[in-house]
Amino acid sequence: MSTLLDVEAVGVSFGGTHALVEADLTVLEGELHAVIGPNGSGKSTLLNVISRLITPQRGRVRFRGQDLLDRSSHTLASQGVARVFQTPVMFAGLTAFENILVGMQPQLRGGFWRDLLRLPASRRADVKARDAVEALAERLEIPRQQLDLRADALTFVQQRRIELARALAADPELLLLDEPAGGLNSAEIVRFRELIQSLRDDRLTIVLVEHNVRFVRETADRVTVLDHGSVLATGGTDVFSDDRVVSVYIGGRGAVERRDGDA
Amino acid sequence: MAPVQTEFTPAAAASDVRTPESRRLGRPVVHVLWLALLLPYLLGPVPLFKVTSVVLLILVAIGYNLIIGYAGQFVVVSAAVMGVGAYATAFFMGHWGLAVLPAILLAACLSGGLGALTGLLTVRLSGIYLALMSVGLAEAAGIVMERWTAVTGGENGLAVTGISIAGQSPPSPVAMYTLVLVFTALGILVSWLLVSGQWGRLLKAVAHNELAARSAGIDVEATKRTVLVVGFFYFGLAGGLSAIVNGFLAPDDFSLTVAINHLAMVVIGGMGTFIGPILGAIVVGGIPQLLSFSKGYETVLFAAAVFFVVIFVPEGLAAGPRRLWRSLRRNIALRAAAVRGSQP
């Protein structure tokens, strides 16, 4: 498998605090790669660097061999990088369906002139986009009647799926997921895990930031463990038996299991 | 109704027939347009003149609705930009000898260009900083209108010369009404095309969360700039038309107070809805005309109406009577409970 995303020696500091120090991350095409670590270890900062919401002071981020740091964040979606936030962000005032349509922007290229003129080609594209949204909703098991509701009126769990659909609408190659298991109960976690794995089976590369160890152990192909902004270990899910990794989780196996329980 | 007829409604022209608003509104809007065409035969010249100045306000309300209601960019510049459009129209006609139509369109384009400039200045600002910046710009424009006497006539005002519509000079109230109605109908149609398509969704996405909008592939800065250009174009167009309709311009017509009145139209009508600003302009613009017998009291009544809407029916008139009634009852109950000191 070839490398899809290559993060090299990235350093980020806010004021005097070092959020990331020489952090590396190599994500192979088609894998489900988890980034794990305790709170404050730099997981979300790393995700923000990859999605260009934070510009690092040092280091390089390459996607398909091209430097991502040259590009502004809004172009990433059309480059094939999509992002799901830790707390679902619904565009209030739009229906769930419209929220997903917004995610189609890289293909639709909606804008002032396009929507003013409504040329036949763009109207055909609109129809195609609507069909694509419906297909996507079906794929993610979003009930049809939910799509016409205002997105901000949906439950947390429903919003999470809508947001995932919005991210997938751009037909990305790389999906960045920020704590997808957070706020879900155990049954929902199982369903979400199956969904994420089925996306991976469809050749989507996924980077998953999570601190629920059990979720990661059962979901990921490879794991990178962050601590204090740098990489502690990287490898298969067997990294969890690494003593250094265990000690980061407050010094022992028991602590790891407790963390599983409260997530 | 024959199914063929739906072909001609704005709702059918738009691809987005899914939003409830588009389903509810296509036909009523067309009926209102027919009624508007009949008004010159029903009203005398003085009432028709009043109706004309109300119809013109719809363009201002649409401009605000795009910028604030959809894109969430809080700027209070409508009156100042209208002033630019109005004085520019007068200038183009008086000094360059342009006819009414090209003068108005050129003035509207100039106003749109001003929107682009404003966008460059304010692109990094949002919320209260953007609002303050816009107040500053509006005040600056007001000072220019007062001092640049060679073009604006200053405090003494400026009589617009060379007004001629279809060979009538000065034009009849019917001609002026028709001119304003045509521009307003076009303005409504354009705003419909814009807000019912992907662009309208992008505006709301930008208004709600810029980071998430960026992640979804939206060029947030370009979208904000464009909406300012479009909104300012609407303001400038309204200003140009007001120059023709009133025939006389004074800096006071374009003060911050006037801009705040304009803002009230959008709030009362319902921000971020297609129909809201149209209703708001008719109601807020029309009520003072009807109340003009109670000189002085209309401002008080008007302020009371704004308070009432903001507190009890924040959705605005666009919500429709049934939802307004429900919202009113719920909000009264909530406030009564809060006053009693208990949670409902």
Domains, chain B, with CATH or none: 10-296 (1.10.3470)
Residues of B in contact with A72 (CB under 8 A): 214
* Better-scored residue on pLDDT, B5 or A47: A47
pLDDT at position B144 is 92
**Residue A254 reports pLDDT greater than 60:** no
pLDDT, mean over chain B: 85
Q: Check A112 against B194: CB less than 8 A apart.
A: yes
* Three-state DSSP class for residue B98: coil
Length of chain A measured in residues: 263
**Residue A260 reports pLDDT greater than 50:** no
State which amino acid sits at residue A195. L
Among A11-25, A109-123, A171-185, B95-109, which range has the highest average pLDDT? B95-109
B251 and B300 Cβ atoms separated by less than 8 Å: no
Q: Check A126 against B211: CB less than 8 A apart.
A: no
Q: What is the pLDDT of residues B231-287, one digit of tens each?
A: 999 999 999 999 999 999 999 899 988 898 899 899 888 888 888 898 889 888 887
pLDDT, mean over chain A: 86
Q: Check B217 against A111: CB less than 8 A apart.
A: no
Q: Check A74 against B219: CB less than 8 A apart.
A: yes
pLDDT band (50, 70, 90) for residue B14: very low
pLDDT at position B7 is 33
Residues of B in contact with A95 (CB under 8 A): 18-19
Q: Is the dihedral of CA A60, A62, A66, A71 positive or negative?
A: negative
Residues of B in contact with A116 (CB under 8 A): 190, 193-194
- Break chain B down into helix, strand, coil percent, rounded to 5: 80, 0, 20
Sheet of A222-227, strands arranged across: A81-84, A174-178, A205-210, A32-36, A222-227, A230-235
Give, for B159, the enclosing helix (H) or strand (E). strand B158-159
pLDDT at position A136 is 92
pLDDT at position B331 is 83
Q: Check B193 against A115: CB less than 8 A apart.
A: yes
Report the residue of chain A nearest B197, measured CA to CA: A115
Written as one string, the DSSP assignment of B25-58 is: HHHHHHHHHHHHHHHHHHS-HHHHHHHHHHHHHH
Q: A134 to chain B, minimum CA–CA distance in Å?
A: 13
Q: What is the pLDDT of residues A139-182, one digit of tens each?
A: 988 998 899 999 988 999 899 999 999 999 999 999 999 988 88
Best residue in A51, A112, A131 for a mutation probing chain B (most B CBs within 10 Å): A112
Report the residue of chain B nearest A124, measured CA to CA: B15
CA-wise closest residue to B314 among B267, B264, B282, B278: B267
Best residue in B194, B201, B225, B233 for a mutation probing chain A (most A CBs within 10 Å): B201
pLDDT at position B289 is 75
**pLDDT above 70 coverage of chain B, percent:** 90
Report the residue of chain B nearest A80, measured CA to CA: B217
* Better-scored residue on pLDDT, B9 or A222: A222
**Three-class secondary structure assignment of chain A:** CCEEEEEEEEEEEECCEEEEEEEEEEEECCCEEEEECCCCCCHHHHHHHHCCCCCCCEEEEEECCEEHHHCCHHHHHHHCEEEECCCCCCCCCCEHHHHHHHHCHHHHCCCHHHHHHCCHHHHHHHHHHHHHHHHHHHHCCCCHHHHCCEHHHCCHHHHHHHHHHHHHHCCCCEEEEECCCCCCCHHHHHHHHHHHHHHHHCCCEEEEEECCHHHHHHHCCEEEEEECCEEEEEECHHHHHCHHHHHHCCCCHHHHHHHHHHC
* Three-state DSSP class for residue B99: coil
Residues of A in contact with B196 (CB under 8 A): 115
**Residue B19 reports pLDDT greater than 60:** no
Residues of A in contact with B208 (CB under 8 A): 89-93
**Candidate from A40-54, A164-178, B83-97, B326-340 with smallest mean pLDDT:** B326-340
Strand partners, B69: none
Q: Which residues contact B152 (CB under 8 A, 6 or more apart)?
A: B87, B144, B145, B146, B158, B249, B251
Q: Check A76 against B18: CB less than 8 A apart.
A: no
Q: CA B51 → CA B181, B247, B263, distances in Å?
A: 10, 16, 20
Report the residue of chain B nearest A47, measured CA to CA: B215
**pLDDT above 90 coverage of chain B, percent:** 44
Helical ranges in B209-320 per DSSP H: 210-215, 220-246, 256-269, 276-290, 297-312
**Residue A250 reports pLDDT greater than 80:** no
Best residue in A47, A71, A72, A73 for a mutation probing chain B (most B CBs within 10 Å): A73
Cα distance between residue B107 and residue B111, in whole Å:
6
A66 and A120 Cβ atoms separated by less than 8 Å: no
Q: CA B163 → CA B50, B89, B160, B192, distances in Å?
A: 19, 10, 7, 31
pLDDT at position B271 is 87
Q: Check A114 against B198: CB less than 8 A apart.
A: yes
Q: Check A110 against B202: CB less than 8 A apart.
A: yes
* Better-scored residue on pLDDT, A43 or B233: B233
Instruction: Report the predicted TM-score, pTM, of the whole model to 2 decimal places.
Output: 0.86
Cα distance between residue B214 and residue B259, in whole Å:
31
* Three-state DSSP class for residue B305: helix
